[in-house]
Structure 1
Amino acid sequence: MPSVTFDAASRTYLLRTSTTSYVFGLDAEDTPVHLHWGPVLTEGQAASLPRPAAPLASSFDGAGPAEELGTEAGARFGTPSLQIAFPDGARGVDWRHLGHTIDGGHLTVRFRDAVQPFEVDLHYRVRGDVLERWVGLRSEVPVTILRCDSAAWSVPSLSGYRLSHVTGGWSAEHQLRRTGLTVGETTLTSRRGVTSHHANPWLAVDGGDAGERHGEVWSCALAWSGSWRVTVTRTPSGSAGWTGGFGHEGLTWRLEPGEEWVTPAFAGVYAPDGFGGASRRWHDHVTQNVLPEPDELRPVVYNAWEAVGFDVAESNQKELAALAARAGVELFVMDDAWFGGRTGDSAGLGDWWPNPDRFPNGLAPLIDEVHGLGMRFGLWVEPEMVNPDSDLYRAHPDWVLHMPGRPRTLLRNQLVLNFARPDVADWAHKWLHRLVGEHGVDFLKWDFNRAFTEAGRPGAADQDRLWIDHVRAVYSIMDRLRADHPHLRIEACAGGGGRTDLGILARTDQVWTSDNTDAHDRIAIQHGFSQIYPARVMAAWVTDSPNPLTRRVTPLSFRFHVAMAGALGLGGDLLKWTPAELAEAAALVSRYKEIRPVVQLGRQDRLEYGVQYTHGDQVVVLAWRGPVAHGTPLVPLRLAGLDPLGRYRDEDTGALHHGALLMSPGLLPELLPAGDYASTLIRLRALGPGSAG
């Protein structure tokens, strides 16, 4: 069981899970110093950890070991986690320990500056195999904050270090990168006001020798949906660690007397069993501690965007809904262009009422039709944006992010509404509340299609607050909507996967992984996504061939098998699918519903060219192969996590397999059709040790 203890004699704090221990202590000057993050230690072992000392090689070197929250005071020359300036010009914190509280798995350690009337609380919370950390600040005098990270993390001294993270861009999100960590500082960041397609606020570090199923891995993820920054440092002396939190360089905030400043959680995982072990701990954390409805199976979705684009009409939506229902869809979502004067991307955003030409009788006839077909009904919305060509903007041009004397940059023909303004956030909540309540909307696809620019609020005393307050307003609106409409489910979207993080997942049920629905491209996107996020939150559509984005031609079964690895959806133009394709789609949707509990609720193991899910006595394997050179052999898939003494029956062929042999040498799947873009679905059921079936 998770536990938190304090040894008064050594002034050591021990936080322990079933598989790891985290230890820090107070040095002679009351500075909180890191001591251990790794295998489980007893209280006696933790108390016996030596306080590391870094002897000064010269007057140009810094002194002392790694700290739990680095500041600028004294001989500290690494990346500071906390940069503050007091009214008299003093900077940094001279730590004085005030005490601590332990509330179950939540530890709060309190400090005060030796001179300034300024307090810092370091928060730690053990949740399963994950340690969450965050910071609280209070001051009796005005303080300028230049950087306030949620935590600094240190890893043991290793002979080498490798950094894992994801990068990419629009329609190419979550591209996994593993590179040697260079000596110096490596910054992962988003300055866009949103999590971003280009990076994601998680990372992993290992010694360069870890694999999917072996080796030590240290990993962290920030629960924040706005701009963020993580600085990873490898020193010339051989140590490594990182510090991270919300905001980015160049921003400053003002902490007023009596105010409390609280950062988002920065969570950490230690895994002794490789990258797969780290991922499964993250998946468990998201399921058990983050998602609002973790055990609810995600419905099969149909989204009409790729079928009609902006040419939305009541008639074509009803036609698509009828076909979607025949295919077994459970949730029908109408995408953009149902509202205001919206007939393209240049007008209408902000005018959230049904387009009178396209829906002369409002949305009720379509919603009634969808519900009558046995499906739930969802709508696309983009509450944080506005087109200049809209009634809203003409009435409230001051509601957008802007700076005096600067042009208002248009991206995708739209501007960003300033949700840091209470009146704007209140307006957004009211129309969303009315839309959901009056129309019986079951699902919102909440989109965000451009980054912040001219992020100012003329006249505001602390303009940079908007980078934080905007995100918190989004959180608050989502929280209120869910409280007022318990049936409502929300999908997070930002031009695809640009808002994917632990912060948004605490308010939503799934994320739109990428605007790229090409199944071949999705394999890499989903691989990177799965490093931290579980299958049940990974929305994955089956769309047309040739793919609308890449023009790649792939078999329908291949598209389905790739999308079945997450929360399955359909997004093609069903009006153009042949009767044979619609029949095959219906059969594959039915098959997905059979395996859905295993995929969405089970343990995930990434395989060499596929993925395995295990839930109870059921095992599902999805395998695929793209274009390869002629003569390239197909190697067996080595399954994982099975009972080596058990027997497993193939639910489709009746073949019996030994658990040990499925894991080594492995299973050689039959991928169909022959040639490029072949795939298969394998269903196994455990029969127990020594069973003859």
Structure 2
Amino acid sequence: MSLGIVLALLALIVGGRSALAQSPSSPTGQASVIVDASRSSWTMRNDHVSLTIGLGADGALRMLSLGSPATTAVKLDTGADTFLTIDGQPVPLGLRQAGFTFIGQTTSDHPSGVELALTFSLGARGLVATRHYVVHSTSPVVEVWTTVTAADGQSAQLSNLNAYDLTLPPGTVSWITGLQIAEADGGPFTSRRQQPQPGEILRIGAAGRSSETAIPWWSLDTGSLQLFGGLMWSGAWSVEFARDQGTLRASLGLPDSPTEVRSDVPLEMPHAFLGVTQNDAFAVSAAMQAFILEGIRHGRPFESPVVYNTWFSYGTRTDEEQIRDEMERVAALGVEVFVLDAGWYLGGGRGAFFDFEEGLGSWQADASRFPKGLASLTDYAHSLGMRFGLWVEPERTSLSWVNQPGLARDDWLVTSGGRYDPGLSNEEAKVGQLCLADGRVRGWMLERLYALIDGVRPDYLKWDNNRWFNCDRSGHGHGQGDGNLRQVEGLYAVLDQLRLRYPQMLIENVSGGGNRLDFAMLRYSDVAWMDDRSAPSLFVRHNLQGLGTVFPPAHLFAFIMGNASEPLLRADDLSMLARSRMPGVLGLSVKTRELVKDELELLAREIAHYKRLRPILQEGSVTLLTAQVPRSASVDWDALQVTSATTGDAIVFAFAAPEAPDRTTVRPQGLDPAATYRVESIDLGPLGVATGADLMSGGIELNDATASDAHILVIARQPAGSAVGAPVR
């Protein structure tokens, strides 16, 4: 809403509330907004969620209740919905005593639902703040954010950018740790739970990239239902849970982040989300899957191709001849995308085996190693029935290329305290980070990306970011304290343009592993690399079991590969290595010429199994059937289930540790009790037919009758009226 429209509305509205009666219920598909002028409230709803928002007697905007048909509504009316911190003073949005005036509401169609916008003016400061809510048609989740604009000649300093400030019932808070959490503290991507006691404050967040220390997501088990939420953001963030005697206050947003709002620099704060389900893990995972597919990706499906990557086998020592040879071999296995990782550029491959920073930022293929050019590799992959992918790290550059014609300039680089790398002197530093807050940098970067992509024609782009510093350098379009905020906004601006220009190109999100694994990047990327420690298999299963409860399994990526403790070559149980990666996106990184015939044939069979399972994985949500497997040595079975949102079919993946008991019983969850299901083992074939009720109560017994300690069961829903067969064993 422009300031001119705001001022016109101010002239027409007396007391601010008459606007409530001017907008009726606004349905879009299954989503609608219902206005109650007598209560100064709005109810946003679909078949799965209902959120009521209202103006208090003091004018402050409040979330009043949140519920769904399957749950009792939770009252949220004891605190403000959100606040603005202006010049260091936090003020509840809408509070008349602070000078806010309610201007009015607008409702509009959204790509997947309906949007409600409530607008307030802070006349003394020349500011207009709009609170936005979106309810999507088919998920029990509400999306919410705030925009702030300033009148001509006006400005204000905002900080502690708040996404929402909620008063909730007390309960147990759950979250997932980030990539950089030490093993002594549970390690990366571990599900954690804590019940804050009266007077206790629980703080979770990250200071640089979004998932360095925690995933920007939380849930609350109140005993009768599950509330959950998160932030769609790729930079620094925090959530604080403060417990008093009868309530739990949850405040989510960006810590510090002082930033200036001017007429030419409006602010759109990070989008957040809030949802509610019945009290079981299956419901939360299914709700997140529905929200991600509909509300974040707007229907763009996950392809989950089988991907080969050169990195862990070849490092930077790649050339045209060996890549073509590897392409031929992996195409025969059933690989669908071949990715040439770091080191392909001029200056690459001259240092250590994994030294990808040498030559980074030249933007030119090394003609001595790739004389026919990279586009010839794209063509060759296509001739073999595969697609071609290419690694890039556009956000950084080797300092040796800085100020070279057509390449990055020194005054575009991030500095923190005057240093390119806070841990090194500038004379010691070898690599610099580009500040994407600077419009010049974004324009140049897009030109380089367009030239590269148009020339090579890759079908898949692996976008990496291996280091991150918050910029405090002047002249980049940000202030001393909001370098993180503006860098992330700049990243999104670049990715928006890439998506528009190359809508069919798959993008892999990598950030030195999973340092930037979040719900905003899900909008732009199709595959997310979890962890460079992609072996042993136990690590991969741990990561998938932690992350898979909130992210779609068809988005989470790991390689079949070996390490010193679990070699791939002549592996005792190669199927275990392959199947441990199958609950996500299946990748492979090995020199296949070192594999013997039996190993190649087994890998081809396992890839074929994965392709058969993939339709369920592509739209499935994850439920753990055991506790999350520890990253340390396991002595038991671990199992998870992936369930299709469309068909109700499910896959159970179960893995026996070397010291585990010979047999176990797995009990599927979330099946239709009255429906009939056919159960099949990937290795043994059909096991029987049973009702959902019987499978969930009696379970399925697994034992060591198969050659592998990795078991896969397909549970297929049968047409109505199908007969129940012998007990499933």
Pair 1:548–1:362, CA change in 2 (3 A): farther
Structure 1 match to 2:460:
443
- 2:149 touches 2:267 (CA, 8 Å); kept in 1? yes
Structure 1 match to 2:49:
20
Question: SS of the counterpart of 1:664?
Answer: helix
Q: 1:31 aligns with which of 35, 47, 60?
A: 60
Q: 1:261 aligns with which of 256, 263, 267?
A: 267
CA shift, 1:351, in A, is 0.6
Counterparts of residues 615-654 of structure 1 (less than 5 Å): 615=644, 616=647, 618-628=649-659, 631=661, 634-650=664-680, 653-654=685-686
Structure 1 gaps of 5+ residues are 53-64, 85-90, 210-214
CA shift, 1:26, in A, is 1.5
Letter paired with 1:400 = L
State yes or no: 1:374 paired with 2:389: no
State yes or no: 1:321 paired with 2:353: no
Letter paired with 1:69 = T
Q: 1:232 aligns with which of 229, 241, 245?
A: 241
Distance 2:567 2:238 in 1: 31
Pair 1:420–1:162, CA change in 2 (3 A): closer
Question: SS of the counterpart of 2:544?
Answer: helix
- 1:404 touches 1:458 (CA, 8 Å); kept in 2? no
- 1:670 touches 1:680 (CA, 8 Å); kept in 2? no
Structure 2 match to 1:5:
34
Structure 2 gaps of 5+ residues are 1-29, 350-354, 627-637
Question: SS of the counterpart of 1:502?
Answer: coil
Distance 1:110 1:654 in 2: 60
Letter paired with 1:66 = G
Q: 1:587 aligns with which of 599, 605, 622?
A: 605
Distance 2:97 2:586 in 1: 51
Q: 2:288 aligns with which of 278, 282, 285?
A: 282
State yes or no: 1:123 paired with 2:132: yes
CA shift, 1:388, in A, is 1.7
Letter paired with 1:189 = G
Distance 1:685 1:219 in 2: 30
Pair 1:353–1:554, CA change in 2 (3 A): farther
Letter paired with 2:415 = H
TM-score when scaled to structure 1? Answer: 0.86
- 1:255 touches 1:261 (CA, 8 Å); kept in 2? yes
Structure 1 match to 2:555:
537
Distance 1:255 1:559 in 2: 52
State yes or no: 1:248 paired with 2:266: no
State yes or no: 1:189 paired with 2:205: yes
Pair 1:39–1:366, CA change in 2 (3 A): closer
- 1:637 touches 1:669 (CA, 8 Å); kept in 2? no
Q: Deviations over 1:236-275 (max 9, x none)?
A: 2321132223x432x3111114643211210111011423
Letter paired with 2:489 = R
Q: 2:341 aligns with which of 328, 335, 345?
A: 335
CA shift, 1:16, in A, is 1.9
Structure 2 match to 1:401:
414
Q: Deviations over 1:298-331 (max 9, x none)?
A: 2111011111112111122122211110110010
Pair 1:168–1:368, CA change in 2 (3 A): closer
Q: Which moved more, 1:678-687 or 1:640-649?
A: 640-649
Letter paired with 2:445 = A
Pair 1:113–1:292, CA change in 2 (3 A): closer
Structure 2 match to 1:480:
497
Structure 1 match to 2:532:
515
Pair 1:196–1:550, CA change in 2 (3 A): farther
Pair 1:331–1:402, CA change in 2 (3 A): same
Q: Deviations over 1:457-515 (max 9, x none)?
A: 35757344432232222222222223222331101110111111111111111211221
Q: Deviations over 1:497-541 (max 9, x none)?
A: 111111111111121122121221111211121121111111122
State yes or no: 1:101 paired with 2:119: no
Counterparts of residues 104-253 of structure 1 (less than 5 Å): 104=109, 105-113=114-122, 115-127=124-136, 128=138, 129-140=140-151, 141-155=154-168, 157-158=169-170, 160-169=171-180, 173-182=188-197, 183-192=199-208, 194-207=209-222, 209=223, 215-234=224-243, 236-245=244-253, 247-249=254-256, 251-253=257-259
Q: Deviations over 1:128-172 (max 9, x none)?
A: 3210000011233221112222222332x34x4434333442795
Distance 1:293 1:516 in 2: 32
Structure 1 match to 2:307:
301
Q: 2:469 aligns with which of 448, 452, 470?
A: 452
Q: 2:277 aligns with which of 252, 271, 282?
A: 271
Distance 1:516 1:284 in 2: 29
- 1:418 touches 1:470 (CA, 8 Å); kept in 2? yes
Q: 1:668 aligns with which of 701, 711, 714?
A: 701
Distance 1:167 1:278 in 2: 20
CA shift, 1:103, in A, is 2.2
Letter paired with 1:389 = S
Pair 1:593–1:313, CA change in 2 (3 A): same
Pair 1:672–1:293, CA change in 2 (3 A): farther
Distance 2:370 2:92 in 1: 54
Identical positions, percent: 24
CA shift, 1:125, in A, is 0.7
Letter paired with 1:367 = T
Counterparts of residues 375-394 of structure 1 (less than 5 Å): 375-390=386-401
Distance 2:571 2:656 in 1: 14
CA shift, 1:375, in A, is 0.6
Letter paired with 2:465 = F
Pair 1:6–1:453, CA change in 2 (3 A): closer
Letter paired with 1:136 = T
Pair 1:617–1:530, CA change in 2 (3 A): closer
State yes or no: 1:657 paired with 2:689: yes
Letter paired with 1:135 = T
TM-score when scaled to structure 2? Answer: 0.82
CA shift, 1:456, in A, is 2.2
Q: Deviations over 1:588-617 (max 9, x none)?
A: 111111111012123443322322234426
State yes or no: 1:575 paired with 2:593: yes
CA shift, 1:366, in A, is 2.6
CA shift, 1:440, in A, is 1.7
Pair 1:392–1:554, CA change in 2 (3 A): farther
Letter paired with 1:237 = Q
- 2:402 touches 2:410 (CA, 8 Å); kept in 1? no
Distance 1:50 1:248 in 2: 27
Distance 2:221 2:528 in 1: 28
CA shift, 1:428, in A, is 1.2
Structure 2 match to 1:504:
521
Pair 1:93–1:580, CA change in 2 (3 A): farther
Pair 1:550–1:403, CA change in 2 (3 A): farther
Distance 1:654 1:174 in 2: 35
- 2:60 touches 2:92 (CA, 8 Å); kept in 1? no
Letter paired with 1:622 = F
Q: Deviations over 1:545-579 (max 9, x none)?
A: 54689999762111211211112111223232222
Q: 2:436 aligns with which of 419, 425, 437?
A: 419
Letter paired with 1:118 = L
Q: Which moved more, 1:460-469 or 1:14-23?
A: 460-469
CA shift, 1:41, in A, is 11
Distance 1:544 1:578 in 2: 15
What is the aligned length? 653
Letter paired with 2:561 = T
Pair 1:476–1:552, CA change in 2 (3 A): farther
